[in-house]
Amino acid sequence: MNAAQRSQRNTFAALALDRAPALRNDADALERARNASSSLYVLMLPDSMLWATPTGTGLALLPPDHLTLEQRGSATLLGRDADGRAYFSCTSDEHPHFSGQALGLRALAANAPAFDAGLAAYASALAHWQLHSRYCPACGATTTHDEAGHRARCTSCSLPQFPRTDPAVIVLVEHGDAALLGRRPGWPDGRFSTLAGFVEPGESLEDAVRREIAEESGAQVMACEYHSSQPWPFPSSLMLGFTAQAASRHLGAGDGELAELRWMTRRDLHDGLNSGTLSLPPRFSVAFQLIHDWLERSAA
């Protein structure tokens, strides 16, 4: 399996959608798409909630006639699927007259199909950015959003702003038959995951892997390899999964970000999971996939 195939398995990362950037600036075609009976709208509610089906197993995608003209006109273009159907997202204070329930992105992702989870992540990330780009960072004046929701422009100095994504590395560190896993303060006893941290300005991904692992654990990384990526819109991260080889199992003091650090063999982890003394991050996280793939590798 290559990196592209591994990423496809990651929740939020398997969105088969043409983002249709040309349509964002084609006013007439955009207007037709906003009102086409085949188009569908993702409805975002305040507090980052998403309008889901009554059973909560997918997004409640609304046809245009369930939205007001104003809602349609200000909606963000997400893209088109393989059939040419356009998808938009819209933030509203009002629950629609359409059966369903409001769900957070994590709750939705646990049960939704890959397409819905990916669409929800994309819409959530854009909605968060739009909320936080209402003022110009240069002069403080208000902005307006154009390009169908993908650009903010200052009403005074015209400075443009574009949606931001914050890269973070998440790393399964190995030495021999053991992996280095950590528990953050506040997590339940026995819950362990891979180590992670944000990439800093002017830093390569490989340097970020080395620095983060050294900071959090004192372990020295000798080599690392890219595994897969996952959009992580909580609120605007992109998780870049890596595997890495440590020079030894020596651990230092760490920076206090982790409450506990352990080298675990596959046997340790299997036994702990079977007896219930250990637990892993949620299945929809790339951390789970990194650990899962490492466990599977022993069987090969």
Task: Tell me which residues touch Zn ion (CB under 5 A).
Answer: 136, 138-139, 141, 154, 156-157, 159
E-strand ranges in 147-274 read 151-154, 160-161, 166-175, 178-183, 195-198, 221-232, 237-246, 260-265
**CB of 19 vs Zn ion, minimal distance in Å:** 27
CA–CA distance, 152 with 142 (Å, rounded to integer): 10
Q: C-alpha distances in angstroms, 56 versus 87, 98, 269, 283?
A: 20, 14, 32, 18
CA–CA distance, 109 with 129 (Å, rounded to integer): 20
Choose between 139 and 247: whose C-beta lies nearer to Zn ion.
139
**CB of 152 vs Zn ion, minimal distance in Å:** 10
The 10 Å CB-count burial string (b at 16+, else e) for 24-51 is beeeeebeebbeeeebbbbbbbeebbbb
**CB of 161 vs Zn ion, minimal distance in Å:** 9
Choose between 164 and 283: whose C-beta lies nearer to Zn ion.
164
**CB of 73 vs Zn ion, minimal distance in Å:** 24
In the chain, the amino acid numbered 63 is: P
Residue in this structure with the two tokens 């509203």, named with its chain if needed: 92
**CB of 135 vs Zn ion, minimal distance in Å:** 8
Choose between 36 and 159: whose C-beta lies nearer to Zn ion.
159
For 18, phi then psi, to 5°, come to: -80, 115
**CB of 147 vs Zn ion, minimal distance in Å:** 17
CA–CA distance, 287 with 285 (Å, rounded to integer): 5
CA–CA distance, 213 with 221 (Å, rounded to integer): 7
